[in-house]
Amino acid sequence: GAVVSQHPSWVICKSGTSVKIECRSLDFQATTMFWYRQFPKQSLMLMATSNEGSKATYEQGVEKDKFLINHASLTLSTLTVTSAHPEDSSFYICSAPRQGPHEQYFGPGTRLTVT
Amino acid sequence: GIQVEQSPPDLILQEGANSTLRCNFSDSVNNLQWFHQNPWGQLINLFYIPSGTKQNGRLSATTVATERYSLLYISSSQTTDSGVYFCAVSYSSASKIIFGSGTRLSIRP
């Protein structure tokens, strides 16, 4: 099946620093990728849609200046959490739809802890 | 926006038991998927099932699109089936998908 990878799998950073998370589709191209955030014992909440070659589309309530998304190629999207604070600590997951039959495939997630 | 509700929210069963998880959605959708999130957070694709019935080993799923619900059946549960099961829907093939609140399944030995 299709594989999506994320790096790093976990990261601890100090408050005020920035963290970059990479999402790669390993065996297919993805013009669109999605970024989700999941707090403990909650469902996945969509943060933004990453579009190759154009600006990301953010969901209501998500600060686009805080969560910078870059979709530089057909296999790579990055999420940068800028000036991270403890409330940004969460599990971040990316996904990419694969053509035919258009299933969404998810990365393994990145656990961010801001101290 | 579309609402996705899952029931029950929690389910505790003995090993070997069968279970049925339900997903209701508020609007017509073109895509529906079932996922299992393991204890490490990885989402595992179980079924891509916008309509009809599919089976994969001890798991099967049925979606009745006209009535806006889907069911996931797990037979002869094993402890490794424990985790959270999510239903997710989208309007079109590459559009964003909306997750339900999930069903937390615990299988006791």
| A32·B41 Cβ contact <8 A | no
- Beta-bridged to residue B60, according to DSSP, are B55, B73
Average pLDDT over residues B36-49: 92
**Residue A2, pLDDT above cutoff 70:** no
**Three-state secondary structure along chain B?**
CCCEEEECCEEEEECCCCEEEEEEECCCCCEEEEEEECCCCCEEEEEECCCEEEEECCEEEEEEHHHCEEEEEECCCCHHHCEEEEEEEECCCCCCCEECCCEEEEEEC
- Given a cut of 60, whether residue A101 has pLDDT beyond it is no
Residue A79 phi/psi, 5-degree rounding, is: -120, 120
B66: CB partners within 8 A, 6+ apart: none
What pLDDT does B91 receive? 81
Give pLDDT tens digits for A58-77.
Answer: 999 999 999 999 998 999 99
Mean pLDDT of A104-110: 93
For residues A23 and A77, the answer to whether their CB atoms sit within 8 Å is yes
Question: Residue A1 — pLDDT band, cuts 50, 70, 90?
Answer: low
- What is the mean predicted confidence (pLDDT) over B72-77? 97
Mutation pick from A104, A105, A113 vs chain B, by most beta carbons of B within 10 Å, is A104
Nearest to A103 among B40, B45, B96 (CB): B45
pLDDT at B10: 97
For residues B51 and B102, what is the distance between their CA atoms, to the nearest angstrom?
A: 20
Instruction: Check if the beta carbon of residue B100 is closer than 8 Å to that of residue B36.
Output: no
Among B30, B27, B13, B18, residue whose Cα is nearest residue B71: B18
Buried b (16+ CB within 10 A) or exposed e, B49-73: bbeeeeeeeebbbbbebeebbbbbe
A105 close contact with B: CB closer than 8 A: yes
Q: What is the pLDDT of residues A4-55, one digit of tens each?
A: 999 999 999 999 999 999 999 998 898 899 999 999 999 999 999 998 888 9
**CA-angle at A54, arms to A24 and A83, nearest 5°:** 70
Categorize the per-residue pLDDT at A102 as very low, low, confident or very high, splitting at 50, 70 and 90. low
Q: Report the percent of chain B where pLDDT is more than 70.
A: 98
Q: Which residues of B touch A44 (CB under 8 A)?
A: 86, 99
Question: Which amino acid type is present at position A6?
Answer: Q
When pLDDT is averaged across residues B79-89 and rounded to a whole number, the result is: 96
Q: How close B17 gets to chain A, by Cα (Å)?
A: 24
- Contact present, A22 and A72 (Cβ < 8 Å): no
Measured between its terminal Cα atoms, the distance across chain A in Å is: 37
Q: d(Cα A22, Cα A80) in Å, to the nearest integer?
A: 9
